[in-house]
Amino acid sequence: MPFVVDLADVSDSDLPLVGGKAGKLGEMIRQGLPVPPGFVVTTEAYQTFLDATILKEEIPGALATLDLERPESVDAVSRRIRDAFESTEFPDGLRATLEAAFAEYVARHDVRFSAVRSSATAEDLEGASFAGLQETYLNVKGSDEVLQAIRKCWGSLFTPRVLVYRAKKGFDHLSVRLAVLIQKMVDSVVSGILFTRDPNTGENHMIIEAGWGLGEAIVGGEVTPDHYVVDGATQRVVLKQISDQSFRLVRVEEGGNRKEDVPPEDRERQKLSDERIQRLASLARVIESHYRRPMDIEWCADLKSLYIVQARPVTTIPPGKSMIGAANPPGPARSTASTPSPDISHEVPIVRGFGASPGIAGGTARLLVGSKDMERLQAGEILVTTMTTPDMVPAMTKAAGIVTDEGGMTCHAAIVSRELGVPCIVGTRSATKLIADGDLVTVDGKTGSVYRGLARAKAHAAPAAPAGGTAAPEAGHHSSPVTATKIYVNVGVPEKAEEYARLPVQGVGLLRIEFIFTAHVREHPLALIKAGRGPELVDRLADGLATVCQAFYPRPVIIRTSDFKTNEYRGMPGGESYEPEEENPMIGWRGCSRYISPVYRPAFLLELEAIHRIRTDQGLKNAHVMLPFVRNTWELEQIAEMLKEKGLKRSRDFQLYLMAEVPSTVLLAREFSKHCDGFSIGSNDLTQLVLGADRDSETLGRMGYFDERDPAVLKAIEMLIEGAHAEGRTVGICGQGPSVYPEFAEFLVRKGIDSISLNADTVVPTIRTIASLEQRLKLDGVRRARD
């Protein structure tokens, strides 16, 4: 078995010798595809290095001391083995062979810089993908550095992550072998990825992402790339989303990379020319038809040429759609004009964003510039706008679907539409540019895609949306299991209360009072007070609140007092005089800080008056209060006084809850417990503040920063539950997290959360998930006790 082989001479069948990555690239060279030249240091070389050096004793010796339960032990063993790899000399014969191969390759291909890339072998791939776990070194210059990088790649078979992973998968640490690919570095001006089919849906169109500079920043998600879609049937580019790229990764002469600013004139320029998009797509088609399956490709380009640097099968496509020809066979060109189309599952979306509220709805697109314009929207139309504001809620209530340019999964449009049951897509970046007023469009709020034309309702499995609302939540009182964790529902507008009250829930975990303001009051509270219309404000608020409390009576309804943000409420009639322009409204004058300010205090007292009135005059003792965006305990002391002033004192009959959103409430959970009956986690804000990731930023959302499942957020939740329970306080949750991620709901149950308040559409499925988890936990407990 050779120690080295030319990349052009290998194929998929050489996998045990050269690994998967090199095998595929060799195969592509044989297909005539442009792949940077190189050679492979085989697994035979690896084995010889191991057998002929002190590593033969060193590795088993180190592994004998490995204690997987102790991270310090894993780290120490890993360091010891990798140091040994890096400091052990190659046996003479092997060094000479590698040096000769390197010299020949440099001369033949005029190489200055190389990429030294791990290429994992067949044993690694079966049933346990080590993809991305081994290291790669870029821009390596000179023979000695390349030889050192080879030993580092080999050593990366023993990083702590890989050691633990291999042990969990039951692989023998010493039977795994690694090949290393040495390849000429391309001086990339632009690079990116390509999926030959949509990896989420299997639809027949290619997705290309492209960004300036080296590919690492793009693959790693640091840079938001351009996004192009090429129709699989017509081969036309049907979508181009051009991003604003502020920095790129470039090579430095001495070796390695650095970040640099993208020149202003290039930032928003299309990264890959139309001609190159077509060329890249045709290369991808060759790869896909060779492998006869959807492929995930990494590519790059210098000033002259395009290159393929990696290709692997896409593994995420839904069953039945993965084999070429099995679904969406290439057919005649399909029209993307504004004509009714029979089945959107075969169409290419005009634009995509985050699916924020599920359901499908079709109708006439109405482009609204802001709330001033909203009278133009007729019931059953699709509202398309840059971003919704609270004063647009009346239009949102009438809309059959909503599409915005901006926003992430917890932005205003996302929350409101979900509570209204209207399909919604946020963060498309360009819907207002690509959709014209009057176009017929179909919105799929589950996948986040907007299509031209009207789709037939049966096109997707999701229920079709009647105008003004989607999938009515499944009632199913009788069939739903009972859970120990209390399940509540979030209610938006009072108009939905009757319908949601039929759900198998124990009450309302979150009634945002802002919704009553926007749907019933419709004017800024301070403007009303100034006009001497305070009593009218109380009447209207009390009406809205009573509708919900009556519908759910005697089940508790937790009314959250207002959490206006200045940017959202400036647009309300009369709002401009009271809402300052803030740099960071998400961490600005909101929540409790308003109540204790002399400016807003009178309005807060009227909110409390409305609550007090429905409790006393109408006997709706199921109304309780929750305070949002609590930052410290001294503000709570002042607010408790105000509650008392309005006849709302904590008792068995009247509970006061705090939202846990600012990390201070988590860090000092025991202190805050003294001021309330319980907490409700606002996971939207808590995630934002623990991770420092603006919840409204579609850029961070796309890059995966805003994620309730992040370990730091989970840790915060665990700490809160511990602290609050130690003081005998309950902990619930009312943010979007458990409605979006069932595994997040599972985590909460495992950690002993007392209640979960969900969006109406997820109540029934989540109850089932929780019931079966509780059952499992109970059984585990029984088994543990028995053993």
Residue type, 177: R
Cα separation, 553 vs 547, in Å, equals 10
Q: Which three-class secondary structure state does DSSP give residue 209? A: strand
Number of residues that bind Mg ion (CB under 5 A): 3
Which CB sits closer to Mg ion, 294 or 407? Answer: 407
Q: Where would I find the beta strands (DSSP E) of 455-547? A: 486-491, 508-512
Which residues in 744-756 are b (16+ Cβ under 10 Å) and which e? Answer: bbbbbbeeebbbb
Does the protein bind ligand PEP through residue 708 (CB under 6 A)?
A: no
Largest CA distance in the chain: 95
Does the protein bind ligand PEP through residue 493 (CB under 6 A)?
A: no
Whether the upstream peptide bond of residue 628 has omega within 30° of 0, thus cis, is no
Report the site for Mg ion in 656-695 (rule: CB under 5 A). 661, 682, 685
**Residues making up the chain, counted from first to last:** 787
Contact 525, 606 (CB under 8 A): yes
Min dist. Cβ of residue 527 to ligand PEP (A): 22
Min dist. Cβ of residue 627 to ligand PEP (A): 12
Min dist. Cβ of residue 289 to ligand PEP (A): 48
Number of residues that bind ligand PEP (CB under 6 A): 12
Min dist. Cβ of residue 657 to ligand PEP (A): 12
Contact region with ligand PEP (CB under 6 A), list: 54-62, 388-396, 440-448, 683-691: 683-691
480: left (phi over 0), alpha (psi -120 to 50) or beta: beta
Which CB sits closer to ligand PEP, 97 or 683? Answer: 683
Min dist. Cβ of residue 564 to Mg ion (A): 12
Which CB sits closer to Mg ion, 432 or 490? Answer: 490
Min dist. Cβ of residue 684 to ligand PEP (A): 3
Min dist. Cβ of residue 512 to Mg ion (A): 9
Residue selected from 357, 404, 683, 759 as contacting ligand PEP according to rule CB under 6 A: 683
Residue selected from 685, 696, 707, 754 as contacting ligand PEP according to rule CB under 6 A: 685
Does the protein bind ligand PEP through residue 516 (CB under 6 A)?
A: no
Min dist. Cβ of residue 591 to ligand PEP (A): 9
Cα separation, 35 vs 30, in Å, equals 10
Whether residue 734 lies in the annotated active site: yes
Cα separation, 282 vs 34, in Å, equals 12
Q: How many CB atoms lie within 10 A of CB 589?
A: 17
Q: What are the residues facing 424 on neighbouring strands?
A: 357, 402
Does the protein bind ligand PEP through residue 124 (CB under 6 A)?
A: no
- Residue 746 binds what, of Mg ion, ligand PEP, none (CB under 5 to 8 Å, by partner type)? none
Which CB sits closer to Mg ion, 661 or 761? Answer: 661
Q: Where would I find the beta strands (DSSP E) of 314-377? A: 351-352, 354-357, 360-368
From 412, 524, 612, 624, active-site residue: 412
Which CB sits closer to ligand PEP, 566 or 684? Answer: 684
Which CB sits closer to ligand PEP, 39 or 706? Answer: 706
DSSP state of 157: G
Query: Quick one: which of 151, 188, 390 has its CA closest to 309?
Result: 188
Cα separation, 309 vs 298, in Å, equals 6
Min dist. Cβ of residue 510 to ligand PEP (A): 6
Does the protein bind ligand PEP through residue 734 (CB under 6 A)?
A: yes
Report the site for ligand PEP in 748-767 (rule: CB under 6 A). none
Cα separation, 678 vs 556, in Å, equals 14
Which CB sits closer to Mg ion, 399 or 627? Answer: 627
Does the protein bind ligand PEP through residue 590 (CB under 6 A)?
A: no
Q: One symbol per residue from 632 to 671: x for binding ligand PEP (CB under 6 A), - otherwise; what is it?
A: -----------------------------x----------
Burial classification of residue 153, based on how many CB atoms lie within 10 Å of its CB (0-12 exposed, 13-18 middle, 19 or more buried): buried
> CA torsion angle for 670, 674, 680, 682 (degrees, to 10)?
-70
Rounded to whole angstroms, what are the CA distances from 86 to 113, 450, 769?
Answer: 21, 53, 49
Residue selected from 682, 701, 732, 738 as contacting ligand PEP according to rule CB under 6 A: 682
Cα separation, 501 vs 762, in Å, equals 14
Does the protein bind ligand PEP through residue 684 (CB under 6 A)?
A: yes
Contact region with ligand PEP (CB under 6 A), list: 16-24, 54-62, 244-252, 682-690: 682-690
Cα separation, 411 vs 199, in Å, equals 26
Min dist. Cβ of residue 414 to ligand PEP (A): 9
- Residue 524 binds what, of Mg ion, ligand PEP, none (CB under 5 to 8 Å, by partner type)? none
Which CB sits closer to ligand PEP, 419 or 523? Answer: 419
CA 614 vs. chain centroid, Å, equals 41
Which CB sits closer to ligand PEP, 575 or 591? Answer: 591
Min dist. Cβ of residue 410 to ligand PEP (A): 6
User: Encoding tokens for residue 685?
Assistant: 């804000």
Does the protein bind ligand PEP through residue 735 (CB under 6 A)?
A: yes
Strands 656-660, 623-627: parallel, antiparallel or unpaired by DSSP? parallel
- Residue 43 binds what, of Mg ion, ligand PEP, none (CB under 5 to 8 Å, by partner type)? none
- Residue 360 binds what, of Mg ion, ligand PEP, none (CB under 5 to 8 Å, by partner type)? none
Does the protein bind ligand PEP through residue 694 (CB under 6 A)?
A: no
Q: One symbol per residue from 553 to 572: x for binding ligand PEP (CB under 6 A), - otherwise; what is it?
A: ----------x---------
Contact 414, 697 (CB under 8 A): no
Cα separation, 190 vs 276, in Å, equals 11
Strands 424-426, 351-352: parallel, antiparallel or unpaired by DSSP? unpaired
Does the protein bind ligand PEP through residue 415 (CB under 6 A)?
A: yes
Only one residue has tokens 């640097």, namely 309
| Side-chain-side CA neighbours of residue 356 (13 Å) | 32
Contact 40, 18 (CB under 8 A): yes
Which CB sits closer to Mg ion, 98 or 393? Answer: 393
Cα separation, 15 vs 121, in Å, equals 6
Residue type, 436: A
Which CB sits closer to Mg ion, 571 or 682? Answer: 682
Residue selected from 352, 446, 512, 729 as contacting ligand PEP according to rule CB under 6 A: 512
Q: Which three-class secondary structure state does DSSP give residue 761? A: helix
Min dist. Cβ of residue 173 to ligand PEP (A): 44
- Residue 231 binds what, of ligand PEP, Mg ion, none (CB under 5 to 8 Å, by partner type)? none
Does the protein bind Mg ion through residue 363 (CB under 5 A)?
A: no
Does the protein bind Mg ion through residue 445 (CB under 5 A)?
A: no
Cα separation, 769 vs 747, in Å, equals 11
- Residue 683 binds what, of ligand PEP, Mg ion, none (CB under 5 to 8 Å, by partner type)? ligand PEP
Which CB sits closer to ligand PEP, 17 or 689? Answer: 689
User: Encoding tokens for residue 529?
Assistant: 């007070």
Query: Quick one: which of 585, 592, 729 has its CA closest to 655?
Result: 729
The footprint of ligand PEP (CB under 6 A) covers 410, 415, 510, 512, 563, 661, 682-685, 734-735
- List, by residue number, the catalytic residues: 412, 734
The footprint of Mg ion (CB under 5 A) covers 661, 682, 685
